[in-house]
């Protein structure tokens, strides 16, 4: 369906998933344009490539070259709703308008698709998998939910025969995909504003698992209530990482496979959760036919994803880690990695809660894991797509945290508050605009040191 359109216009083009799609179609020879609310590093990069972007919602801001219903396709993100002037214009004037997930679904239908699903670990797992395939000369196009350090992009490609995509459970969009190989990393309760109950979320994952064809393969983390090729860490899974030891800020481990073992695999990311992510990426690539020795070499060269346990400062005096963690399980994974690699050093977590509904639904869980840090600083809740919920504030969450060394600060006072701490390991966590504060904090701390 998409092939018949010469022009594609993206509404919400600056989003991490949307911008990856825009790059894919740009490289396919389409004329690409789009709207977003604000200019960012991502949108600047798209403009530099030759895409035509605008930042005014008015329909008059739409370039004339994207006003012909016959040759223009509109792709929009579900984060933008009806009521947006540009989106309403296209809907009301006979244009073909589809969601991002529908476009990704068509791409996966026409390629051999690796789909990575799970409430946590999608971006890291899919980027590891895409890197492994790329390094093994598989003709892969990768659509990622974060910017990879290796490629400085959320999209990279050396061919279009194979696709690696994140299978997003938000608004059930992963049910539009057509996976040949799929994995499910986790099924923790999340997005309860969409699903209502955890059981509904789990049912959606089971529906996704059912989309894998009989000649395909489903990879499932050990312990999840699904049937498939199991993977895990130090357990009896079909694929299991074992003999894990720490070396030079990362890990070395052995991978036990159905008929052999790969010894002494080097992996640069801290955290046992990341070893789990690497395990399933290795399993999927091995089942596809990539040579084990080549996979081990490829994993050793993997450098991670921006805002996924990124070291922004790493000295003997000070460590600053930047991470997207916005769910209690993700915060726990960061905490465990910090305590494993820096057991003797005082730690500080700066956390910006994301969404009023998530803060309300997991308030006790957030408080429990945050209380395991030595010091806690909270920022105000980042609302994203939501309106405030009465009484649900960062102050409400702060009261639930059991340690005494805790505070709620504004972004304007954040750097000074961090400087006043004697913690030498600092974790900056959250999925909101805290990411925009990280460089300011890092630069301020570097001047101090």
For the chain, list the domains and their CATH numbers.
2-98 (3.40.50.720), 111-300 (3.40.1190.10), 310-448 (3.90.190.20)
Half-sphere exposure of 305 (CA within 13 A, CB side): 25
Q: What is the mean pLDDT of the chain?
A: 94
Q: How confident is the model at residue 279 (pLDDT cuts 50, 70, 90)?
A: very high
Q: Which residues contact 38 (CB under 8 A, 6 or more apart)?
A: 14, 55
Q: How confident is the model at residue 172 (pLDDT cuts 50, 70, 90)?
A: confident
CB 417 within 8 Å of CB 407: yes
Hey, which bits of 86-134 come out as E strands?
96-99, 112-117
| pTM for the predicted model, two decimal places | 0.87
Q: Between 81 and 72, where is the model more confident?
A: 72
Q: How confident is the model at residue 448 (pLDDT cuts 50, 70, 90)?
A: low
Tell me the C-alpha distance between 297 and 292, whole Å: 9
Pairing of strands 375-378, 310-314: unpaired
CB 398 within 8 Å of CB 431: no
Mean local confidence (pLDDT), 193-206: 76
Q: What is the pLDDT of residues 30-44, one digit of tens each?
A: 999 999 998 988 999
Q: What is the pLDDT of residues 298-335, one digit of tens each?
A: 999 999 999 888 999 999 999 999 999 999 999 999 99
Tell me the C-alpha distance between 115 and 224, whole Å: 17
Tell me the C-alpha distance between 78 and 98, whole Å: 10
Q: How confident is the model at residue 274 (pLDDT cuts 50, 70, 90)?
A: very high
CB 105 within 8 Å of CB 176: yes
Cα dihedral sign for 221, 223, 227, 231?
A: positive
Given this model, what pLDDT does residue 79 score?
82
Q: What is the pLDDT of residues 365-374, one digit of tens each?
A: 999 999 999 9
Q: What is the pLDDT of residues 242-268, one digit of tens each?
A: 999 998 878 999 999 999 999 999 999
Given this model, what pLDDT does residue 436 score?
85
């Amino acid at each position: 369906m998409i092939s018949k359109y010469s022009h594609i216009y993206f509404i919400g083009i600056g989003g991490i998933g949307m911008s990856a799609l825009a790059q894919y179609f740009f490289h396919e020879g389409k004329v690409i344009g789009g709207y977003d609310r604000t200019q960012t590093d991502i949108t600047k990069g798209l403009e530099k490539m030759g895409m035509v972007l605008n930042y005014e919602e008015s329909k008059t801001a739409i370039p004339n070259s994207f006003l012909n219903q016959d040759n223009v396709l509109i792709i929009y993100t579900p984060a933008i709703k009806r009521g947006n002037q540009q989106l309403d214009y296209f809907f009301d004037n006979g244009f073909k308008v589809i969601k991002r997930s529908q476009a990704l679904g068509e791409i996966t239908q026409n390629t051999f698709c690796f789909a990575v699903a799970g409430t946590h670990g999608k971006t890291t797992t899919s980027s590891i998998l895409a890197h492994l395939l790329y390094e093994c000369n598989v003709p892969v196009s990768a659509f990622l939910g974060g910017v990879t350090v290796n490629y400085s992009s959320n999209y990279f490609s050396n061919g279009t025969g194979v696709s690696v995509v994140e299978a997003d459970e938000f608004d059930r969009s992963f049910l539009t995909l057509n996976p040949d190989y799929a994995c499910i990393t986790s099924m923790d309760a999340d997005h309860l504003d969409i699903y209502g109950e955890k059981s509904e979320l789990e049912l959606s994952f089971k529906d996704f698992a059912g989309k894998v064809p009989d000649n395909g393969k489903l990879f499932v983390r050990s312990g999840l209530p699904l049937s498939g090729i199991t993977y895990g860490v130090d357990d009896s899974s079909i694929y299991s990482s074992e003999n894990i030891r720490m070396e030079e800020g990362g890990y070395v481990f052995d991978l036990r496979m159905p008929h052999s073992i790969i010894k002494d695999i080097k992996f640069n990311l801290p955290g046992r959760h990341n070893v789990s992510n690497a395990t399933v990426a290795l399993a999927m690539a091995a089942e596809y036919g990539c040579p084990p020795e080549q996979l081990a070499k490829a994993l050793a060269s993997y450098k991670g994803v921006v805002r996924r346990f990124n070291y922004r400062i790493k000295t003997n005096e000070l460590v600053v880690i930047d991470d997207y963690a916005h769910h209690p399980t993700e915060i726990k994974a960061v905490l465990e990695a910090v305590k494993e690699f820096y057991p003797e050093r005082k730690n500080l977590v700066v956390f910006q809660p994301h969404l009023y509904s998530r803060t309300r639904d997991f308030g006790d869980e957030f408080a429990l894991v945050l209380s395991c840090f030595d010091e806690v600083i909270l920022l105000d809740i980042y609302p994203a797509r939501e309106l405030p919920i009465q009484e649900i504030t960062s102050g409400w969450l702060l009261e639930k945290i059991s340690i005494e060394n805790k505070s709620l600060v504004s972004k304007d006072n954040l750097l000074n508050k961090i400087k006043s701490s004697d913690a030498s390991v600092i974790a900056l966590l959250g999925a909101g605009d805290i990411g925009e504060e990280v460089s300011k904090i890092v630069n301020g701390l570097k001047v101090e040191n």
